[in-house]
Amino acid sequence: MTLLAATDLAFGYPGRVIGRGIDLAVAPGEVLALLGPNGGGKTTLLKTLLGLLPPRAGSVTVLGRPLAALPARERARALAYVPQSAGSAFAFTARAVVLMGRSAHAGLFSAPSRADRASAEAALARMGVLHLADRAVTRISGGERQLVLIARALAQEPRLVILDEPTASLDFGNQGKVMREITRLRDDGLGVIFTTHDPNQAARYADRALLLRAGGRLAEGPVAEVLAAERLEGLYGAPVEEVRDAGTGARAFLPG
C-alpha cells in the first residue's frame, strides 16, 4: 500500500516552475529524506505534497485518491505538517497548540470534545513533553517546541507526517532527540517525509532518500544505495569524504 505518491510532478508558483520530473512514493512505516542544497526546492516540494500549493504538472495521490480532490479536512486527517519551528504571535500553552491539531476533527463552531483533549494529552505524552503542557510555547526551548509541534501533528491522527527541516536551529543533543522521536513514528506505522541539510541524518534515520538539485531529481532510492560520496559531491558541488566503521558498517559523510 502507498500512503503518498507523486508521479512526474512539477512544482512551483504561478508562472514559475521550480522543479519537475519528481516521482516518489511513501509506504506506511517508511521514512523518506529529502536532501539538497539551499534553494533546491525542498520546501516548495513539501508544500506541494501537502496540497498547500497546486502541482504545476503531474499528480499527487493520497491513499490512492488525487490530493486535489480531497477536502481540506480530509487532507488534514491524512497528512500532517510540522513546519520549521517559528515563533508564535501569542503565548499559547503547549496544550493549546496541540489541541489546534484537532481542528480537522472538530465541527466549525464546536469546542474541543473530551476525546479531543484526551488525544492531545496522549500526543504530548507520546513525544515526552506532557510535563510542558501548561507552559507557554514561547517560553520553552527550540527542541521542546519542535516536539510540541510534532505532538500537534500526531493529534491530527494522520497517516503521514511531513516535517520541514525538523532539526534546523537545534543544538546537537536536541537534534538527536527530535530525530529519535521521528523514527519512533515509523515504528508506529506512520509514513514520514523530512527535509534536511545533513546527509548523515538521512543515512541514520531514513529508509529512502530523494536527492533534489535545482528542482530536479538527482537520485532516489534506499539510503544505502543513494547516499554515496561522489553523488553527494554532485549534489552540493563540494568535496565530500565518506568514512565507514569497519566493525559496524555505520557510515558518515564529512564535508571538505
Partner 1 sequence: MSGPEARAESRLGARIGAGAGTALALGLLLLAVAVAFGVGRFPVGLGEVAQVLLAKLTGRPAAVPPAVEAVVMQIRGPRILAAILIGAALSVAGAAFQGLFRNPLVSPDILGASSGAAFGAVLGIWLSLGVLAIEALAFAGGLAAVAAVYLVGATLARRDPVLVLVLAGVVIGSLLGAGVGLVKYLADPYNQLPAMTFWLLGSLSATHALDLAALALPVVLGTAVLLLLRWRLDALSLPEEEARALGLATGPLRLAIVAAATLVTAASVAAAGIVGWVGLVVPHLARFLVGPGFARLIPTAALLGAGYLLVIDTLARTIAPVEVPLGILTAVVGTPVFLWLLAGAERDWQ
Enumerate binding residues for partner 1 (CB under 8 A): 13-14, 47, 50, 52, 72-77, 79-81, 83, 86-93, 96, 99-101, 103-104, 106, 108-112, 135-136, 138-139, 156
CB 230 → partner 1: shortest distance, Å? 36
Q: Which is nearer to partner 1, 110 or 248 (CB)?
A: 110
136 contacts 96 by C-beta, under 8 angstroms: no
CB of 166 to partner 1, least distance (A): 14
Q: Which is nearer to partner 1, 14 or 249 (CB)?
A: 14
Contact criterion met (CB below 8 Å) for 228 and 242: yes
DSSP code of 250? -
Q: Grid coordinates standing for 103? A: 481542528
d(CA 103, CA 97): 11
If the CB atoms of residues 33 and 96 are measured against partner 1, the closer one turns out to be 96
Instruction: Pick the closer one to partner 1 by CB: 109 or 172.
Output: 109
Q: In angstroms, give the least distance from the CB of 148 to partner 1.
A: 13
Cβ distance to partner 1 smaller for residue 35 or 162: 162
Helix pair angle (142-155, 172-187), 10° resolution: 20
Q: Which amino acid is at 212?
A: L
Distance CA 98, CA 133 (A): 9
* Sequence-ordered list of residues with C-beta below 8 angstroms from that of 187, at least 6 positions apart, any chain: 29
Pull the grid cell for residue 183. 523514527
- Closer residue to partner 1 (CB): 71 or 249: 71
- Closest CB 138 distance from partner 1, rounded Å: 5
What grid cell was written down for 251?
Answer: 557510515
Rounded to a whole number of angstroms, the distance between the first and last alpha carbons of the chain is 41
Least Å distance, CB 105 to partner 1, is 8
What cell was used for 1?
A: 500500500
Q: Minimum Å distance from CB 224 to partner 1?
A: 32
